[in-house]
Structure 1
Amino acid sequence: MANREPRVARARAGLDVIDGYMPKSRGRPAGRGKPKRPQRAVRELRLSDRLMRDAVTIVSEDSALEVERWASGWLGSAWSDAGLGEREPEKTFHLEVVGRASTRPSPHGLAAVAALRRVAVPGEWSLLDGTLEILSESQSAPQWFAIPAFEPVRAWRAVDVWDSEHVLFVEFAGQTPHTLMAQISLAGGVLVDKLAILQPGAGETWDRLREPDEVPMPAVECPVEVALAELADALRTTDMTWPRQDDEDFIDLRALAWSRCLPYLPDFRDWQSMGDEERERLLDGFAPADDTVARSLADLFLDYGDGYMTSGPLCWSPGQVGLFLADWLPRKAALDAEQRAALPDVLRRWIRYSLERRAVDPVWISPVVEAVDTFLPAFEEAFDDAAAWGPAKQIAEELAARGIDLTDPEAVDGAMRGLNAERLARRLID
């Protein structure tokens, strides 16, 4: 009997044959019984639906800080999941949550709206405050509802010896004192790499926790408004960068960090190029006027530093060397045989020259110089890959192949007019 039951079950399901024949169906005759209902497609829950389900966990929460982290995590998901064309994903998310909470008033619905309000930007306050006022008439508010916002009281700023990385510590007072930490990378543009909530006093203990062989990065106390303004500026730039920053800690704490620093957001800085006098002074200090190869390469180094190195044209670091050799130089510059052969040695000399002028300890100049050898293979591969060249370099290479002196403005202008005419003619023929 133990072996028979599975086979009988399969036979009744029309999946097996017993003793050579298929048993007759004992179900209803065709046409009798209730008709089958069409299957409904299962609707995928929206992010706001999932938040409302999870909001029951914060109704009885004691810590306002944990509530803010909870709300910030949901807003971070809305921001991270948004497409490139969605400019206000958090606003849309707020509207959905408010709609859900208002349709079926409940304590956890009020808690969800109140939690979002604690980390919302000022433009969203009116919507959330109006909803809370209505919900409070029929629902009891959680105990953390009236806890005041956290206030910044002290700040520290740590800068590495190359000025390629900053770490900010802002200490907040309130129900649960804590420190908001932000790690900001400046190589290749400003980007907030990490956000974290740490214990009070983290800025004061930073130096003691670092290993002796780590890059010097002392934390110095600074005005609160200075640290929060730098954080706000870095967050703005990070938000403008595509693809979006995908570090989990950053996503979870992004809205919380914005709510703390947005009032200190500075205006956009006006970029000003290096003056001709300063450029000539640096070039003269590096190589004599008759060393045309070294000076031409140093001119390229200054172009990169002036336009792409946030901290200044002399703030070279291993990361900046990598970006310069593996990305910028192959895309932007055309080098003749002499320049290409001299590049490694001249770049090493320029790095030493630049960092010595900034009074960087020789111990920390060496890793930057060594980065030249590290990234030279990537430069060689990318420089010879025409598909990776930028438009300006493609044109320069074409003019050079035609024998045009790229240092002669009149010759370049004439050649460009001819080149444009040729391209127009080809398009018309095609």
Structure 2
Amino acid sequence: MSPRSRSSGDPQSPPDEIIGIFDDMLRHARELLAVRSPLDAELIVSEIQGAWWGQRVPDGDVDRVVGEALAEHAGQAATPAALALLTGMAYLGTARQAVKAERAALELMEHGVARPGWADRVGMVTPEECFVSRDVYGDQDSVVCVYSYAGEDRHALVVLVDHNRSGMVRDAWVSSRVDTLLDHCRQEGRTNPLVRFERLDPRDARAMLEHALDRTDATVKPPVTDTFAAYHAFLRARVRALPPGGRRPVTPVHGGDSRATLAARFLASDEAEELSDRSAAGRCVDRIIEYGCEHDLGRPLRVSPVKCEMFLLDWLPRKVLLSPAEQEAMPHVLAAWVRWAGRRSGLPDEGIRAALDAVWDATGKFTEAYRDPSAFGLDPGLVRRLLPDGELDALPRRAFALPFLSGEHYLPGRGRIDLAMLDPADPADRRIMLEFEHPGADEDHLAAHERLAVRLWHGDPPQLWETAQALLDAGFERHEILHRLIEVLARCGDDPRALRAALGTLRHERPPM
């Protein structure tokens, strides 16, 4: 009989489809019985745990809902493969998973289940040295951390930190050919003028990687490689094995200059002298600086080929409403900015040339990628009313919040009002629009709709519009969605954490059949 038994009527038992997945994982865990190296065992366990990494569940944290339940299921299975999996989870799991896994493993051992040969060495690693390979643009860091088990099974963990993606980890992998890897990195650092390879204090490596991994874990659907999930648990454990006490590198910023001062200095520079439309150039450089300050860790002066491409082909088309003059001027202004900012930040000539090549290569694609809303049949005047700040991605949520922007409305004492003449960004005009949509509503009802409209207008919090879209996709009517969101706002008050949790639950609701 198993050390534990599960009652089929237990309300806490995972559903049958989850049990089937757990059984598949235990079959995968049989590979643990064939390996001799603790490193190989840890990588297999990490791969199993990666099966649920990044998944979202409606009723809580996936590591708790799935990971802890797997530890309990393995304890009930009471097989050598289950004990091997629990042994690995005790080291690689979250704190709560590790506690559950260790207790279950001890119980299986007390009942005579055989331990794997590598069990005493799992997790017994010592960090030896750390290095970092950096490109001169500041696009990414490849952190190399070398470990061994008491001098044996020496291996290197390589972690890619992408500073074009908020400094998150996007990839990780392991190599047992440590000397070959380090020789290659040193050779590239000597021969490639755009790469620097240097030693990194293990304490600083831990601080950097903890921060970068937190960024990845906090991002919904992060742009990681296909293999990253399999290494996530291993990476998390290896970072914990590094000594604490380090400091993350301070992100270089623009020297304390205000955005307006940076723009003025650029426009007065030799590099900007040939820009013909000075007015459009001024508005374009404001967007370049905005992108650097708000989406590149406060580094508007940092230029690189990848950053230029992301700015022109990803961020601008999605986020910013440009006038025709600004669309025409933007690539030329960006090229002038690359020359000016590259020179100020000390970028080598080779780096500046490569960034300029990227700008010109992307210019044709930018013309195709950038789509003015008027190209989709939207009235330009209507778009300008909804986007006075030029934030293009705000258009759908603001149109959802305030759909009645034309027609006439009669107000006692004021007569007929043309809604097309009102400014939805103005609180008084917005109130008239809401009165038109809800004729005869009392003050409390209007005030609740107004609070929701203001939040949707500003995207505060972003999960509010995400939830509205999910409910639209599920088949709810707009007015019903508004009232469900209003109820959540009233219930959660000023508690942002409670609001996010309530919206996460609401997002999974479905209309009655």
TM-score class, shorter:
0.7 to 0.9
Residue correspondence of structure 1 range 241-320 to structure 2 within 5 A: 241-245=219-223, 247-262=225-240, 277-288=257-268, 291-310=278-297, 312-320=299-307
1:373-418 Cα offsets, whole Å, 9 max, x none, are 23333433444331899xxx998723899xxxxxxxxxx9997346
Q: Is the 8 A contact 2:72 2:104 kept in 1?
A: no
DSSP 3-state at the match of 2:182? helix
Name which of 41, 61, 65 aligns with 1:88: 61
Name which of 425, 438, 443 aligns with 1:428: 438
Q: Is the 8 A contact 2:90 2:102 kept in 1?
A: yes
**1:176 matches 2:153:** yes
The AA in structure 1 aligned to 2:361 is: T
Residue correspondence of structure 1 range 92-171 to structure 2 within 5 A: 92-137=65-110, 138-147=112-121, 149-171=124-146
What displacement does 1:85 show?
3.7
User: Using the alignment, how far apart are the partners of 2:323 and 2:254 within structure 1?
Assistant: 26
User: Using the alignment, how far apart are the partners of 1:268 and 1:424 within structure 2?
Assistant: 49
User: Using the alignment, how far apart are the partners of 1:388 and 1:217 within structure 2?
Assistant: 43
DSSP 3-state at the match of 1:79? coil
What displacement does 1:87 show?
4.6
Q: How many residues align?
A: 375
1:199-221 Cα offsets, whole Å, 9 max, x none, are 22466324355499967222110
1:156/1:380 Cα in 2 relative to 1: closer, same or farther (>3 Å)?
Answer: same
**1:217 matches 2:227:** no
**1:226 matches 2:204:** yes
Which entry has the higher C-alpha Rg, 1 or 2? Answer: 1
What displacement does 1:150 show?
1.0
Which stretch shows the higher mean deviation, 279-288 or 363-372?
A: 279-288
DSSP 3-state at the match of 1:58? helix
Q: Is the 8 A contact 2:89 2:98 kept in 1?
A: no
What displacement does 1:286 show?
1.6
Q: Is the 8 A contact 2:423 2:430 kept in 1?
A: no
User: Using the alignment, how far apart are the partners of 2:91 and 2:249 within structure 1?
Assistant: 30
Q: Is the 8 A contact 2:45 2:89 kept in 1?
A: yes
What residue in structure 1 maps to residue 344 of structure 2?
357
The AA in structure 1 aligned to 2:30 is: V
What displacement does 1:280 show?
4.5
Q: Is the 8 A contact 2:254 2:301 kept in 1?
A: no
DSSP 3-state at the match of 2:116? coil
User: Using the alignment, how far apart are the partners of 1:265 and 1:423 within structure 2?
Assistant: 56
The AA in structure 1 aligned to 2:79 is: S
What displacement does 1:274 show?
6.8
Q: Is the 8 A contact 1:321 1:371 kept in 2?
A: yes
What residue in structure 2 maps to residue 31 of structure 1?
none
What displacement does 1:333 show?
3.6
1:97/1:388 Cα in 2 relative to 1: closer, same or farther (>3 Å)?
Answer: farther
What displacement does 1:281 show?
4.3
| Length-normalised TM-score, structure 2 | 0.63
What displacement does 1:65 show?
0.2
Q: Is the 8 A contact 1:167 1:182 kept in 2?
A: yes
What residue in structure 1 maps to residue 42 of structure 2?
68
Alpha-carbon RMSD: 3.8
User: Using the alignment, how far apart are the partners of 2:387 and 2:87 within structure 1?
Assistant: 65
Unaligned runs of 5+ in 2: 1-15, 389-421, 440-478, 480-513
Unaligned runs of 5+ in 1: 1-41, 402-411
What displacement does 1:144 show?
1.0
Name which of 168, 171, 191 aligns with 1:191: 168
1:266/1:358 Cα in 2 relative to 1: closer, same or farther (>3 Å)?
Answer: same
Which stretch shows the higher mean deviation, 205-214 or 123-132?
A: 205-214
1:425/1:103 Cα in 2 relative to 1: closer, same or farther (>3 Å)?
Answer: closer
Q: Is the 8 A contact 1:77 1:251 kept in 2?
A: yes
Q: Is the 8 A contact 2:302 2:341 kept in 1?
A: yes
DSSP 3-state at the match of 1:234? helix
Which stretch shows the higher mean deviation, 206-215 or 99-108?
A: 206-215
User: Using the alignment, how far apart are the partners of 2:57 and 2:384 within structure 1?
Assistant: 35
The AA in structure 1 aligned to 2:38 is: A
User: Using the alignment, how far apart are the partners of 1:376 and 1:205 within structure 2?
Assistant: 39
Q: Is the 8 A contact 1:232 1:265 kept in 2?
A: no
1:246-300 Cα offsets, whole Å, 9 max, x none, are 6332111111001121475999999999797443543343223995543333222
